[in-house]
Amino acid sequence: MEIIISSLQTVFTFEVLIAMLIGVLFGMVVGALPGFTGTMGVALLLPITIGMEPIPALSMLVCLYTASTYGGSITAILIHTPGTAASAATADDGYALTLQGRGMQAIGMSTVTSCIGGFLSGIALIFISPWLAKCSLLFGPGEYFFVALFGLSVIASLCTGGVVKGLLSACLGLFVACIGIDTITSYARFTYGFNGLGAGLGLVPTLIGLFSISQVMIMAENDVDANKDGIVSKAISKLKGTVFIPLVEWKNYIIPVLRSYIIGLFVGILPGAGGDIGSWIAYNTGKQQSKHPEEYGKGSLEGIACSETANNSVCGGALVPLLTLGVPGSATAAVILGGFTMHGLIPGNDLFTVQAHMTYPIMIAFALSNFLMAAIGLLAARYFAKVTIIPISILAPCIIVFATLGSYAVQYNMVDVWAMVIFGAIGYFMRKNGMATAPIVLALVLGPMAEGRLLQSTIAARSTPLLLYFMSRPICVVVFFLIIISIGVPVYQNFRAKRKTKAAGSDTVEAEE
Amino acid sequence: MKEEKKFISIDIFLGVFCAVFAVIFLVQALQFPGQVGFFPSLVLAFMLFFSLITLGIGVYKTVQTRKGNADYANPEMKRFPFIVLATIVIYVFCMQKIGFFVSTAVFLPCEMLLFGQRKVLPIVISTAIVLVFLYFVFVMQLNIYMPDGLLF
């Protein structure tokens, strides 16, 4: 309790509050812009935090994370264009309400439920994490190795391009993580005498390349102008009424909100699963359990409550495995992990004992930033939608400049800038060919941990074969089966779906004959 | 119909490229002394395995599409993203030679024009705002020194 009170005092200092405000504002803008993601926002802001103290720096990043998830709902509701994938489930109901002249109520519901989901997940983060961190003391190198593999297998299996391409992407990330001087033997791997590669490829430039430069290239080929024909201006001018929903109506939403919060939290804790998955599961569960399922998709406030509570709840959940095990719960959390390591905070039990004075203020800032986000959202959400009026022709070049500068600023090294350009091109090709970039990021973060723990395991196993050593450890066995399930289930589902389509196709042909 | 017969799934190219990539680096990793090459070899072996599966999937897609049993399509590649990439390469190169601020002051308006912005005022204002913001935040507040090259 003492640590929470002292952390509250730290959070309510001018420096941290300003950092939270910047994080929230930037997050809402990034979230509201279609094509921009929280991951890209964190990657762009990461270099700015270099000169800052760890608490305000990391508070800014975690606040950006939750605010960007909420920001995506604003354009989803007003112009049927989700700013982020996590708000896709909100788009149908939100836009239907806008067409009915109840857009302000939809924004009000999205704002309040996002705040509830984010805040409660922050509370869960504060109370679950120290307990899980203690459990992590039971983990040996073998267990950590399998947890890292589990994180990679989950994120790879959830990729839209298929499990195989997801795993291929993860392997590429693990390989890139091997480049540089080996920390144990000082042997240079894949550097070819090039000194700039000695320390390996920087995480931040690689992330900026994969998420920002590739995104600019995607924007260059797609017309993603959200304000085509002045659609945003028209939608904003049509907004009437109040954002506040009468208190009596809230009793209908308490259960869906709490259920979605639990779903979001669980999905967030699961390594690799992001806000989009959490919000869809909560939305579909809400529809199944609702007294008015027919309203879903046609302007249901309950539908918005389900998806928005869940996607912000995912944010807090995703930080739990990140802080305790060093395994990020989502792609954005993977970039945030880069920020933690950059500021010398290494995930694990030490974060909650030795470095507790830094970790707790960051977690509390995350929880409280949801109120800041709600206050700004309720007062000015309609104006945030106006950021989409800025044309891509202005935004894209500015992103390139910020990305270049961000990559350089990490180590004052031009090699990093070239790495950003190369990974921008790689990211573009990957995305064009159905290979997600999220596994590569997670692999870059988890690669060194996986390698280190694997080598420690080989030493610990002594003369016992490595496989037998792993199988003699119960946690390893459990995680191993989870890996099999995480890869096997999507493969089986894909196979079944294809067989069904084939069967349906042959039935149609027979009927035609 | 003629085009369908010519169809080759992009997964074939992807599988072959990744397989060749994995083999080249796997050969090198196997030559590393002691435990140094253990993890990279393991990773590259898995990469080779998944590349071959991707290749197999590509062959399947190609055969099925050519037979007319399925309708797989390759992603359409446009020229503009590559032009953007080329401008980024030129920008980074110029940054090293003539300095960050000068190259950015030239790059931003040119890139905005390239992306189709034709109004002069937004170009001038946004360029000025970005340059002032970067100087104020990075140079004055964070004391980060940009590559200065021959000029500023």
Domain ranges in chain A are 2-506
Q: What is the pLDDT of residue A491?
A: 80
Nearest to A405 among B14, B53, B134 (CB): B134
User: How far apart, in whole angstroms, are the C-alpha atoms of residue A15 and residue A293?
Assistant: 47
Q: What residues of chain A lie within 8 A of the CB of B40, using their CB? A: 175, 178, 189-190
Chain B window 73-132: which residues touch A at a Cβ cutoff of 8 Å?
75, 77-78, 80-81, 83-85, 88-89, 91-92, 95-96, 100, 104, 107-108, 111-112, 115-117, 122-123, 126, 130
Instruction: Spell out the per-residue pLDDT of chain A, length 513, in tens.
Output: 788 889 899 999 999 999 999 999 999 988 887 667 788 888 888 888 877 899 999 999 999 999 998 988 887 888 777 766 777 778 888 888 888 888 888 889 999 999 999 999 999 999 988 888 888 788 888 888 888 888 888 777 766 667 888 899 999 999 999 998 887 788 899 988 887 788 888 888 888 888 888 888 988 887 655 556 566 666 666 667 777 888 888 888 899 999 999 999 988 887 766 667 788 888 888 888 888 888 888 888 999 999 999 999 999 998 988 888 887 777 788 888 888 888 888 888 888 888 888 999 999 999 999 999 999 988 887 777 677 677 888 888 998 998 898 888 877 888 889 999 999 999 999 888 888 887 888 888 888 888 888 988 888 888 888 888 888 898 899 989 988 888 888 788 777 877 777 677 666 656 655
Q: What is the pLDDT of residue A273?
A: 64
Q: Are A408 and B115 in contact (CB < 8 Å)?
A: no
Separation in Å, CA of B149 to nearest CA in chain A:
12
Task: Give which of A413, A397, A344 is closest to B145, Cα–Cα.
Answer: A413
Q: Residue A247 is encoded by which pair of tokens? A: 């208190």
Q: Are A167 and B46 in contact (CB < 8 Å)?
A: yes
Nearest to A394 among B11, B47, B126 (CB): B126
Q: Looking at beta carbons, which pairs linking A130-138 to residues 24 or more positions away fall under 8 Å?
A: A130/A352, A132/A320, A132/A321, A132/A324, A132/A325, A133/A323, A133/A324, A133/A348, A133/A349, A133/A351, A133/A352, A134/A349, A134/A352, A135/A324, A136/A324, A136/A325, A136/A348, A136/A349, A137/A349, A138/A475
DSSP β-ladder status, A180-181 and A188-189:
antiparallel
Q: Cβ distance B46 to B93 under 8 Å?
A: no
Looking at residue A307, its amino acid is S
Q: Are B138 and A213 in contact (CB < 8 Å)?
A: no
Residue identified by tokens 């919000």 is A279
| Residue A180: strand pairing partners | A189
Q: What is the ipTM of this complex?
A: 0.90
Q: How many CB pairs under 8 A join A and B?
A: 152
Nearest to A220 among B32, B37, B80 (CB): B80
Give yes or no for B145 touching A (CB within 8 A).
Answer: yes
Q: Cβ distance A34 to A390 under 8 Å?
A: no
Q: Cβ distance A275 to A315 under 8 Å?
A: yes
Task: Give which of A22, A13, A12, A30 is closest to A60, Cα–Cα.
Answer: A22
Task: Give which of A491, A356, A327, A404 is closest to B101, Cα–Cα.
Answer: A404
For residue A400, give the 3-state DSSP assignment: helix
CB atoms within 10 A of CB A321: 27
Q: What is the pLDDT of residue B2?
A: 43
Give yes or no for B57 touching A (CB within 8 A).
Answer: yes
Instruction: Spell out the per-residue pLDDT of chain B, length 152, in tens.
Output: 444 558 889 999 999 999 999 999 999 999 998 888 899 999 999 999 999 999 999 999 999 888 887 888 888 888 899 999 999 999 999 998 888 899 999 999 999 999 888 889 999 999 999 999 888 877 877 777 777 765 55
Strands (E), A146-273: 180-181, 188-189
| Residue A189: strand pairing partners | A180
- For residue B146, the number of C-alpha atoms closer than 13 Å in the C-beta half-sphere is 30
Q: Which residues contact A251 (CB under 8 A, 6 or more apart)?
A: none
Separation in Å, CA of B2 to nearest CA in chain A:
24
Q: What is the dihedral of CA B91, B97, B100, B105, to 10 degrees?
A: -60
Q: Are B104 and A164 in contact (CB < 8 Å)?
A: no
DSSP state string for A100-132: TT-HHHHHHHHHHHHHHHHHHHHHHHHHHHHHH
Q: Cβ distance B83 to A360 under 8 Å?
A: no
Element (H, E) at A389: none
Q: What is the pLDDT of residue A260?
A: 94
Report how far apart, in Å, the C-alpha atoms of A12 and of each of A1, A51, A343 are. Answer: 17, 21, 21
Q: What is the dihedral of CA A215, A221, A222, A225, to 10 degrees?
A: 80
The C-alpha angle A430, A70, A8, rounded to 5 degrees, equals: 115
User: How far apart, in whole angstroms, are the C-alpha atoms of residue A332 and residue A310?
Assistant: 16
| Secondary structure (H, E, C), A435-474 | CCCHHHHHHHHHHHHHHHHHHHHHHHHCCCCHHHHHHCCH
- A82 conformational bin, left if phi > 0, alpha if psi -120 to 50, beta if neither: beta
Q: What residue of B is the nearest CA neighbor of A454?
A: B39
